[in-house]
């Protein structure tokens, strides 16, 4: 009786049992059951785990990396979870940096330049009831000062604005989003720790939210986008969103209105640049979310079936699958090219009562219009915008293949991106295939071959010029007066003797050339500065 009374006081009665059950039951699954191949685990991730364990802390590979390992895939990124605080983690590694305010984590960096790898280390977080958290009136954009001294805070809608209260592993697992992302793998003893039947869901190819989905989406609306991203990524393996997890998605999208635009922009890029852009578009349509997530994403989905945009999405997926880098500036430049191209043509032609503009100023103004209408101030005036502008501004320069232009163009920092953009335009018939092939060869050839290629262009231009002259109707020439020297008009009081016409010799193929005018240099009169000079006959 006394024990029951104490348990009741401590909340360990019926209500306490329910509270405990939400943290799940710890299951330690050995290697012979889960079947993970240790060779698929990155050595640098192993080093981070080993270093933390040798310092006396718990440490595991966690999240999507464990899910991929269970599926027999080699993860592209490795995250580590530990009971060490961010400051304790940072003290153990030479190149480690604490980042974030909403969620404080540590980036442990290996290597330099493009070959560097980041292992993300997070501290186990406590499962905090939102009712017990500090509540603020603002949101992620407006309450940074108020949040500075808080460890756990929510806004009026229940969205978590700060989550930096450390806790045990079972609570950390409960606050993660999907069951297949809430497993922990210890490379040392090859044991998987599973609290929410993630291994079973992985075997059943089910993507299931931990806890009540509607509540979890309200805690962090970006989980809506994560649900789309994971379902698109895993669709090729046969994964499907659990019905209860998918049901609140459409209704919950209104919660995204209070999420900072910069964060939505970053999440949109993750949807499009993780190697599953085409599958993401299909998943958005399937779930009824083709519109309403983010305005620029709406444009992507709307234009995904257009040949040029579809080719860009497929090219992005291909490059990711081949381990090649991808830039958001290139993909967004492809998506918004139709707006730039149409605005450019409109300004050159002077439509809608506008005065016609020269090509380059017209292109610059069209680009400004697109930035203002489609991107605004969210990452649109920094490096991303500069790269997009450079890709677009180079396009008319590909038409000029004479003089020093080709040499200077291939030296531009963004030449390869601009060329790949033009290459896609050629693939859909917007640019001649021969031009794309010429630039491909010119950009990879030595100086001697480049000289040959330029000479080839000059010869082609001469041929086109002859064809144009041959096709131009020639007006009949008046008979030349008797005795007039070849190449000049005879002196005539009614004519301007300051202009003479030189009759060019007819080429061997009989092609007639247009007369060429030239101005004679007048000779000063003897003894004075008055006008004068000999006539054509005098010459």
The full DSSP string for 247-305 is: TTHHHHGGGGGGS-HHHHHHHHHHHHHSS-HHHHHHHHHHTT-SSSS-HHHHHHHHHTT
pTM for the structure as a whole: 0.73
CATH of the domain at 371: 1.10.3090.10
Residue 105, in any domain of the structure:
yes
Residue 287's pLDDT is: 93
Angle subtended by helix axes 328-335 and 307-321, to nearest 10: 160
Residue 352's pLDDT is: 74
Residue 361, in any domain of the structure:
yes
217 shares a domain with 165: no
Residues catalogued as catalytic: 77, 79, 177
226 shares a domain with 178: no
CB 70 within 8 A of CB 83: no
232 shares a domain with 175: no
299 shares a domain with 274: yes
Residue 5's pLDDT is: 36
Residue 21's pLDDT is: 54
Round to whole Å and give the CA distance between 177 and 169.
Answer: 15
350 shares a domain with 256: no
Residue 476, in any domain of the structure:
no
CB 105 within 8 A of CB 121: yes
Both tokens of 472, joined, read: 């131009």
Residue 477, in any domain of the structure:
no
285 shares a domain with 196: no
The total domain count for the chain is 3
CB 163 within 8 A of CB 130: no
337 shares a domain with 241: no
172 shares a domain with 223: no
Residue 378's pLDDT is: 60
Both tokens of 91, joined, read: 């003290």
Round to whole Å and give the CA distance between 256 and 260.
Answer: 8
340 shares a domain with 278: no
Residue 161, in any domain of the structure:
yes
Residue 218: domain span: 205-305
Region for 320 from its dihedrals, namely left if φ exceeds 0, alpha if ψ lies in -120 to 50, beta otherwise: alpha
Residue 299, in any domain of the structure:
yes
CATH of the domain at 178: 3.30.460.10
221 shares a domain with 185: no
162 shares a domain with 81: yes
Encode the chain (539 residues) as per-residue pLDDT tens digits. 344 433 433 344 433 334 445 688 899 999 999 999 999 999 999 999 999 999 999 999 999 999 999 999 999 889 999 999 999 999 999 999 999 777 889 999 998 766 688 999 999 988 766 555 555 555 555 455 555 555 555 565 556 666 677 889 999 999 899 999 999 999 999 999 999 999 999 999 999 999 999 999 998 899 999 999 999 999 989 999 999 999 999 999 999 988 888 889 999 999 999 899 999 999 999 999 999 999 999 999 999 999 999 999 999 999 998 988 899 999 999 999 999 999 999 999 887 777 899 999 999 999 999 998 887 666 545 788 899 999 999 999 999 998 899 999 999 989 999 999 999 999 999 999 999 999 999 999 999 999 999 999 999 888 888 877 777 666 555 555 544 444 444 444 444 444 333 333 334 443 444 444 445 555 555 544 444 433 333 43
**Which residues lie closer than 8 Å to 495 by C-beta, 6 or more apart?**
489
Beginning with the edge strand found earlier in the chain, give each strand of the sheet holding 160-163 in spatial order: 134-135, 152-154, 160-163
Round to whole Å and give the CA distance between 234 and 204.
Answer: 12
264 shares a domain with 181: no
Residue 487, in any domain of the structure:
no
Round to whole Å and give the CA distance between 399 and 406.
Answer: 10
Residue 320, in any domain of the structure:
no
Residue 3's pLDDT is: 41
């Amino acid at each position: 009786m006394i024990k029951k009374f104490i348990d009741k006081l401590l909340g360990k009665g019926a209500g306490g049992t329910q509270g405990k059950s939400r943290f799940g039951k710890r299951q330690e699954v050995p290697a012979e059951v889960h079947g993970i191949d240790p060779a698929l685990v990155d050595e640098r991730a192993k080093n981070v785990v080993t270093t933390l364990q040798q310092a006396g802390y718990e440490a595991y590979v966690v999240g999507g990396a464990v899910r991929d390992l269970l599926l027999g895939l080699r993860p592209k990124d490795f995250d580590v979870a530990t009971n060490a605080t961010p400051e304790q983690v940072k003290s153990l590694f030479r190149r480690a940096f604490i980042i974030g305010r909403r969620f404080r984590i540590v980036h442990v960096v290996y290597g330099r330049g493009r070959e560097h790898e980041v292992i993300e280390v997070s501290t186990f977080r406590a499962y905090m009831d939102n009712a017990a958290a500090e509540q603020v009136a603002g949101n992620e954009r407006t309450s940074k000062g108020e949040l500075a001294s808080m460890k756990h805070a929510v806004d009026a809608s229940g969205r978590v604005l700060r989550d930096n209260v450390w806790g045990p592993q079972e609570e950390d697992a409960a606050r993660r989003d999907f069951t297949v992302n809430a497993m922990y793998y210890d490379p040392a003893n090859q044991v998987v720790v599973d609290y929410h039947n993630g291994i079973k869901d992985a075997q059943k190819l089910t993507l299931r939210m931990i806890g009540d989905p509607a509540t979890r989406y309200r805690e962090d609306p970006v989980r809506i986008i994560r649900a789309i991203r994971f379902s698109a990524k895993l669709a090729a393996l046969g994964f499907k969103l659990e019905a209860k997890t998918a049901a609140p998605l459409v209704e919950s999208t209104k919660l995204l209105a209070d999420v900072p635009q910069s964060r939505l922009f970053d999440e949109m890029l993750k949807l499009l640049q993780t190697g599953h852009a085409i599958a993401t578009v299909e998943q958005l349509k399937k779930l009824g979310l083709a519109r309403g997530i983010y305005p620029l994403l709406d444009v992507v989905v709307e234009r995904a079936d257009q040949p040029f945009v579809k080719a860009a999405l497929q090219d992005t997926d291909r490059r990711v699958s081949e381990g090649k880098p991808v830039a958001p500036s290139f993909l967004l430049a492809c998506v918004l090219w139709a707006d730039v191209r149409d605005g450019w043509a409109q300004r050159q032609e002077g439509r809608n009562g506008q005065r016609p503009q020269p090509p380059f100023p017209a292109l610059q103004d069209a680009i400004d219009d697109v930035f203002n209408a489609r991107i605004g101030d969210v990452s649109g005036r920094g490096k991303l915008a500069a790269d997009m502008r450079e890709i677009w501004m180079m396009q008319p320069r590909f038409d000029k293949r004479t003089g020093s232009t080709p040499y200077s163009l291939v030296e531009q920092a963004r030449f390869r991106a601009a060329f790949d953009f033009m290459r896609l335009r050629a693939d859909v018939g917007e640019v001649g295939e021969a031009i794309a092939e010429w630039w491909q060869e010119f950009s990879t050839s030595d100086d001697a071959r480049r000289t040959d290629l330029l000479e080839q262009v000059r010869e082609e231009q001469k041929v086109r010029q002859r064809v144009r002259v041959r096709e131009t109707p020639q007006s009949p020439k008046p008979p030349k007066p008797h005795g007039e020297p070849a190449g000049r008009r005879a002196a005539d009081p009614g004519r301007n003797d300051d202009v003479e016409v030189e009759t060019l010799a007819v080429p061997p193929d009989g092609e007639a050339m247009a007369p060429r005018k030239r101005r004679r240099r007048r000779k000063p009169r003897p003894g004075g500065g008055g006008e004068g000079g000999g006539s054509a006959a005098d010459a």
